[in-house]
Amino acid sequence: QVQLQESGPGLVKPSQTLSLTCSVSGGSIAGGGFFWSWIRQHPGKALEYIGHIYDIGSTYYNPSLKSRVTISVDTSQNQFSLKLRSVTAADTAVYYCARTRDYSNYINWIDPWGQGKPVTVSS
């Protein structure tokens, strides 16, 4: 079955760029029916949807983060990536990549999730 794995630095300095990559195995990113998502979970346990990308490259970003976020995809490597610029301590969280089943306009669900990458923003 499809598995996802996040990779990247676990410590980022304030004002710098957080960069994470999600490697997908057991299935292809290309092919439709899904979009590829980033979600984060702050230490207080709340989940926040960051955004997603389709295999053709179209993206959606949460308006609260849109000015700082870029999600890209590399179908040849079966990976997608997250960049979050100008980070602050408020960006400290566990970052998850995940596959979202895109069933219809309103019907979608997140499954599976990667194991999560803890990222701390600190000098």
Decide whether 39 or 84 has the Cβ nearer to other proteins.
39
- Contact between 36 and other proteins (CB under 8 A)? no
DSSP 7: E
Please report how close the Cβ of residue 15 comes to other proteins at its closest, in angstroms: 27
Q: How far apart are CA 35 and CA 33, in angstroms?
A: 7
Q: How far is CA 86 from CA 31, 77, 104, in A?
A: 33, 27, 35
Minimum CB distance to other proteins, residue 114 (Å)? 6
Site for other proteins in 40-79 (CB under 8 A): 45-49, 52, 60, 62-63
* DSSP secondary structure of 1-43: --EEEEES-SEE-TTS-EEEEEEEESS-S-SSSEEEEEEEE-T
By CB under 8 A, the count of residues binding other proteins is 23
Type of residue found at 82: L
- Asked if 97 contacts 112 with a C-beta cutoff of 8 angstroms, the reply is no
Among the listed ranges 7-15, 18-26, 39-47, 83-91, the one in contact with other proteins (CB under 8 A) is 39-47
Least Å from the CB of residue 76 to other proteins: 26
| Binding site residues, other proteins, CB under 8 A | 45-49, 52, 60, 62-63, 96, 98, 105-116
